[in-house]
Amino acid sequence: MRRPCYIVDSFAAHALVGNPAGVVLDGADLDAQTMQRISNELKHSETAFPLPAREPTAALHLRWFTPEAEVAFCGHATLATFHVLVEEARRIRVPEGRLTRMAFTCKSGRLNVELSRADGRLSVVIETPASRFEAAQIPAELAPALRIVPEALNPELRPWKSAILEGNLYVCVRDRETLARCRPDGPLLDRLGRQLGVAGFAVFTLRPAAGVDAAMRCFFPGYGILEDPVTGSAAGQLAALIQTVLPEALPRRLVFTQGDEMGRPGRVEVEVRQSMGGHHEMVSSPTPPVVPSAFRAFIGGNAVTILRGELEL
């Protein structure tokens, strides 16, 4: 059977930058093992499979696979999916000057998407899963695993662990130069990730340049991805974390950059909105404090199709 297959550079203004993702259409008959094998064949950090809706209020169901495992949410492959469904497959219509809202389901639950078009240019804004953070006690091996000195960590913003999805550790360093110097030791980071119960490490610095709120680098050795070019899911979580520990008036719009060290620069635009659950305060206790979901992050950016083809399977 021939299935439409695309490669899209997400969070990218032009081709061959940002984060590439595979998108395979018409996969309703594929089982998880076959999707996993396809993702391994395509070799991108994630491949998305938009599937028929599983509930009446959703437009579709989405699954994402790295070359080694299925994930609960992926930002850049979701952006790629809606770019393909609107601009390539023409399965979703987005009229000029109008906002189209729809929902999709996934392993993380039901999430919303806002689609619009201005001057012919498509805008995709994706709701990310609810945020919950735990203050983390990091092992002494973390700085050596990143090949930086312990003094390079920013003492004003302690590390936080995301307690949703597969979990990431968010680590703030002092400046952009420190971020650029990170040379992750994959096996050691993988061991530390298993010890901490996290899938990835999001290392960032605040306000690295005018108009940029944070520069990021993301490492996922447990998924066979030593470094990811531009990570939408981590950007959404980081925006919620920044709003939690450094609050400002909402809605708050942030800009993150990532991928420069890999030669694939990308830009993620994030809007933080108040969660339906309202505001929550951190509570001190003998165990590490947990910050529940007080904010919701919506991510967006540009996407460019670089390959159109058919998968013979």
Q: Which residues pair with 105 in a beta bridge?
A: 61, 110
Rounding to the nearest 10 degrees, give the CA dihedral for residues 92, 312, 228, 294.
40
What is the rounded CA–CA span in Å between residue 48 and residue 21?
Answer: 7
What is the rounded CA–CA span in Å between residue 258 and residue 295?
Answer: 23
Residue positions annotated with a catalytic role: 46
In terms of Cα–Cα distance, which of 196, 166, 168, 201 is closest to 182?
A: 201
Q: Which residues pair with 219 in a beta bridge?
A: 201
Q: Which residues pair with 271 in a beta bridge?
A: 253, 298
Question: For residue 166, how many other CB atoms are within 10 A of its CB?
Answer: 18
CA 264 to chain centroid, in Å, comes to 15
Do 135 and 285 touch, CB atoms closer than 8 A?
Answer: no
Residue 123 contacts by C-beta under 8 Å, 6 or more apart in sequence? 114, 115, 116, 117, 300
> What one-character DSSP code corresponds to residue 153?
B
What is the rounded CA–CA span in Å between residue 19 and residue 265?
Answer: 8
